[in-house]
Amino acid sequence: MSGQWFLLLLPVAAASGWLAARYSWSRKAMSREPPLDRYLEGVRYLLDDQTDRALQAFIEVVEIDHETFETHLILGRLFRRRGEVDRAIRIHQNLAARPSLTDAQRVQATYEMGRDFLLAGMLDRAENVFRELMDSPTAGVRALEGLRNVYETQRDWQQAVWIGARLQEQGVPFEALRMAHYECELGLLAIEKQRMEEALEHVDRAIALSPGLSRALLLQAEVAERRGDIPLAIRLGREAVELTPPLATLVVPKLERLHMGSGSPDALESLEATLMELANGKRITVASIALMRLYRRTNRFDEALTQLQRILAQRPVPTSGLLEAVRWMKILPAVQAYGAEFSAFEKALMDQLRNQPLYQCSHCGYQGRAHVWQCPSCRRWDTLRGMDLDLDQPVTQVQALP
């Protein structure tokens, strides 16, 4: 009887074995397929700016399928975004070395590797990668932009001009403005080496690239001042402010210094005319405050108070204007008994002025106390604009432009 049961169980065992083997093979086949749901989940995390969760999702996808090109590419970018540049470099290097990649995929992986090198500060290696790709039909423009970033970081302005010309040929917008600033940088270097004619040649090229560029006028003013032509320097400075009023914070102190240091017997009258044109004609607050201080220094108190009223009528009221109002109130007989309180108020405003930013980027909102022509945050040129001016800084201590 037991033999009969054994014969009956043989087909059942065979069928069970076949089913188990088929199930095991199916699981392995499924495991070799990219887990699409987890990949899409990672993409959703990216869209929601949940970098950590997206990173974990893509790591799981890569662990299951080592051949997925796009997933490796995204994973490398995420590591770079998190600042783990070494891991990003390894991923993109391994990816670019695969023999199975198409030409387009290899170019993409190599370009990402160049971006890794750039972020890591390996400028020589980044330059080599981008130069290798600069003639690529699919990544050539991006490689040229990468080279531009390399040369800007290295302050190699001649090479930056060359790259800018290549990008301009490709129709990249705003490249002429960038190149104009590169020429201004070269002009500034020439001024520092006392090569005034060379500096003016760079200025001329900058103006040809970007007509009406205020920075170029300020460079011309610098050359004129060094040559002793103060009237020309003043005229060029005024033109720069008229073209770009938000640069008044930068230029008005220079104009004050030029007027007062000219040695002309009518220096005060000339300065007053300049400030009145900017304050009343162009409604530039920084010029109004400078004009009010000039009136105070020359004991023309009624005119000074008129300017102060105009400043305080603005919204928002500049901190410098509030400081001047407090200083006026301190000398009034009615508040002499509150001298200590007003002194404390004055000190608080002075501290606020010393700590508040003077310039703000019109593109990304970066703020700082020092003016630079290229924003340190978004790396755009000519976007920093004056917010207010620390007028407690003596005119003689204002740095020469540009």
- Look up the CATH number of the domain holding residue 100: 1.25.40.10
- What pLDDT, on a 0 to 100 scale, did the predictor assign at position 262? 78
Quick: pLDDT tens for 110-119.
Answer: 999 999 999 9
Quick: pLDDT tens for 26-40.
Answer: 443 444 444 556 556
Neighbour-count burial for 5-22, b at 16+ CB within 10 Å, e otherwise: eeeeeeeeeeeeeeeeee
Q: Which of 154, 170, 186 marks a domain boundary? A: 170
- What pLDDT, on a 0 to 100 scale, did the predictor assign at position 13? 39
Residue 67 pLDDT grade (very low, low, confident, very high; cuts 50, 70, 90)? low
- What pLDDT, on a 0 to 100 scale, did the predictor assign at position 90? 82
The candidate with the shortest Cα–Cα distance to 395, out of 314, 275, 312, is: 275
Residue 391 pLDDT grade (very low, low, confident, very high; cuts 50, 70, 90)? very low
Of 19-33, 76-90, 346-360, 370-384, where does the model show the most confidence?
370-384
Name the 3-class secondary structure at 31: helix
The four Cα atoms 360, 365, 367, 372 give a dihedral, to 10 degrees, of: -60
Neighbour-count burial for 98-120, b at 16+ CB within 10 Å, e otherwise: eeebeeebbbbbbbbbbbbbbbb
Distance of alpha carbon 97 from alpha carbon 113, whole angstroms: 11
Q: What is the mean pLDDT of the chain?
A: 78
Residue 148 pLDDT grade (very low, low, confident, very high; cuts 50, 70, 90)? very high
Whether the per-residue pLDDT at 284 is higher than 60: the answer is yes
Residue 377 maps to a domain: yes
Distance of alpha carbon 82 from alpha carbon 88, whole angstroms: 10
The four Cα atoms 296, 300, 303, 305 give a dihedral, to 10 degrees, of: 50
How far apart, in Å, do the first and last CA atoms of the chain sit?
108
Q: Which amino acid is at 109?
A: A
Residue 334 maps to a domain: yes
Residue 120 maps to a domain: yes
Structural domains counted in the chain: 2
As a whole number, mean pLDDT of residues 175-204 equals 96
Whether the per-residue pLDDT at 18 is higher than 50: the answer is no
Higher-pLDDT residue of 380 and 357 is: 380
Whether the per-residue pLDDT at 107 is higher than 60: the answer is yes
Q: Which residue matches tokens 């020309």?
A: 232
Q: Which of 135, 170, 205 marks a domain boundary? A: 170
Residue 155 maps to a domain: yes
Residue 198 maps to a domain: no
- What pLDDT, on a 0 to 100 scale, did the predictor assign at position 385? 84
Flag the least confident range among 197-206, 289-298, 393-402.
Answer: 393-402
- What pLDDT, on a 0 to 100 scale, did the predictor assign at position 50? 67
As a whole number, mean pLDDT of residues 91-100 equals 84
Residue 136 pLDDT grade (very low, low, confident, very high; cuts 50, 70, 90)? very high
Q: Which amino acid is at 318?
A: P
- What pLDDT, on a 0 to 100 scale, did the predictor assign at position 36? 54
Higher-pLDDT residue of 280 and 368 is: 368
- What pLDDT, on a 0 to 100 scale, did the predictor assign at position 33? 47
- What pLDDT, on a 0 to 100 scale, did the predictor assign at position 43? 61
Q: Which of 125, 147, 170 marks a domain boundary? A: 170
Which domain covers residue 105, as residue numbers? 43-170
Distance of alpha carbon 402 from alpha carbon 400, whole angstroms: 6
Higher-pLDDT residue of 239 and 309 is: 239
Q: Which amino acid is at 354?
A: R
- What pLDDT, on a 0 to 100 scale, did the predictor assign at position 183? 97
Quick: pLDDT tens for 225-280.
Answer: 999 999 999 999 999 988 888 888 889 889 989 988 877 788 888 888 888 888 87
Residue 192 maps to a domain: no
- What pLDDT, on a 0 to 100 scale, did the predictor assign at position 121? 93
Higher-pLDDT residue of 141 and 398 is: 141
Higher-pLDDT residue of 61 and 397 is: 61
Whether the per-residue pLDDT at 1 is higher than 50: the answer is no
As a whole number, mean pLDDT of residues 203-211 equals 95
User: Could you check whether the bond before residue 316 is cis, i.e. omega within 30 degrees of 0?
Assistant: yes
Distance of alpha carbon 144 from alpha carbon 121, whole angstroms: 17
Structure tokens at 210: 């970007």
Radius of gyration of the chain measured on its C-alpha atoms: 33
Residue 204 maps to a domain: no
Whether the per-residue pLDDT at 2 is higher than 60: the answer is no
Quick: pLDDT tens for 326-338.
Answer: 776 666 665 566 6
DSSP string spanning 321-375?
HHHHHHHHHHTSGGGGGGHHHHHHHHHHHHHHHHHS-SEEETTT--EESS--SB-
Whether the per-residue pLDDT at 357 is higher than 90: the answer is no
Portion of the chain with pLDDT greater than 70, in percent: 72
The candidate with the shortest Cα–Cα distance to 318, out of 399, 219, 249, 389, is: 389
Say if residues 69 and 101 touch (Cβ distance below 8 Å).
yes
Residue 161 maps to a domain: yes
- What pLDDT, on a 0 to 100 scale, did the predictor assign at position 31? 44
- What pLDDT, on a 0 to 100 scale, did the predictor assign at position 399? 33
Distance of alpha carbon 151 from alpha carbon 163, whole angstroms: 9
Higher-pLDDT residue of 138 and 32 is: 138
Higher-pLDDT residue of 337 and 146 is: 146
- What pLDDT, on a 0 to 100 scale, did the predictor assign at position 56? 61
The candidate with the shortest Cα–Cα distance to 296, out of 285, 286, 306, is: 306
Neighbour-count burial for 348-383, b at 16+ CB within 10 Å, e otherwise: ebeeebeeeebbbbeeeebeeeebeebbeeeebbbb
The candidate with the shortest Cα–Cα distance to 156, out of 114, 135, 195, 127, is: 127
